[in-house]
Each structure stands twice: as structure tokens, then as C-alpha cells.
Amino acid sequence: MGDTFNKDELKARMQGALDVLLKEFTGLRTSRASTALLDPIMVDAYGSAMPLNQVGTVSAPDARMLSVQVWDKSMVKAVEKAIREAGLGLNPSADGQVVRVPMPDLSEERRKELAKIAAKYAEQTRIAVRNVRRDGMDHLKKLEKDKAISEDEHHRFSGDLQTLTDEFVKKVDTHLAQKERDIMQI
């Protein structure tokens, strides 16, 4: 931030925290099959862990099924194993070079559990946004102490920073409410 107050940098950091939340949300199951569900899965391939999407093409042929077209026939078993052991409650089955992943119905208990996980992710993001605000406020205090900005400027920038923080916390709450609706929808 140097010796000036850069609101855009703080906004970019807050946006980064929100982007991470949205990516985490895509990995949480809803009632529809989503290819993003398999994004975090790593496959033991060629002696190292590789993202699933680097060993095959993931698609959602319908709302209750995902499929992975594995490019290298020798990798089919490894893909199947990685999906089964990912802790997502999925039971894949291989059919030639295609691994089919049926989406089991979510029980009421599992839906509530997923909603709690979503809320936990959202709270971590709110904390990250507030930490960016705190960094900005600390920087403002230092600028005023070093006489780089006046007391009035400090007050104005503090207000801007609080407004920005409130905007991002509201975005987090909005995305959480939408994700909870998606999860609870049967």
C-alpha cells in the first residue's frame, strides 16, 4: 500500500476472499449433478497427484449423473478409486473408458450437514474480509501518525473502508442464503 491509501487493493483482496468462497460452494452438493463437484478430486496418475480434469473430461449427462471420459484406459481404475475415496459419498462405476457417477439422493440429515458446512465457509470468508478491513484501518492510523494524511482524510477513508466491508459481508450473506436454498431444495 505504500504511503497512500489504496481502496482498490483492499477491494481486490476482499473480492479474492469472496471468489474462494464461491469456489468452495461449487464443491458442495445440491440436488443437481454439477461437474464442479469433482473439481477438487486428485488422481494418482503417472507417479504424482493430478487434478481429475487433467486425466479425463467431466460432464453431466443429466441431473442425477456425472460421467468422466478417461483419456488413458490405464487410468480408469485410479479415477474410480479417487472419486470413491474423496469423501463425497459417491459410488462410481467404470464402463470401458467412462466412469459413471450416479448422484445419490441427499437425506434430510445430509442436507442440514451441507448447509452447516456452507455456513462455516461463509463465516471464514467474513473473517477474511474483516481482516482486510483491519489491515486497511491499521494502515490509515499509520498514515495519519506519519502525517501522510489528515485526520479528516483518515475519517473519510475509514468510512469508505467500512462501507466496502459491509458490501462484501452482504454479498457473502446473499451467496450463503442462495446456497442454503439450493442444498435444501429436493
pLDDT in tens, 25-70: 887 766 667 788 888 889 998 889 999 989 999 998 887 889 999 9
Half-sphere exposure of 26 (CA within 13 A, CB side): 13
Q: Which fold has domain 7-26+107-184?
A: Topoisomerase I; Chain A, domain 4 (1.10.132)
Q: Quote the percentage of the chain above a pLDDT of 70.
A: 96
Q: Rounded to 5 degrees, what are φ and ψ at 46?
A: 55, 40
The runs of H, that is alpha helices, within 30-107 are 76-84
pLDDT of residue 173: 97
Q: What is the DSSP letter of 67?
A: E
Start-end ranges of CATH 3.30.1360.40 in the chain?
35-102
Q: What is the CATH number of domain 35-102?
A: 3.30.1360.40
Identify the weakest region by mean pLDDT among 39-43, 76-80, 95-99, 154-158. 39-43
Provide CB contacts within 8 A for 166, sequence distance 6+. none
Start-end ranges of CATH 1.10.132.20 in the chain?
7-26+107-184
Q: Which helix (DSSP H) or strand (DSSP E) does residue 52 occupy?
A: none
pLDDT of residue 3: 61
The CA distance from 85 to 149, in Å, is 55
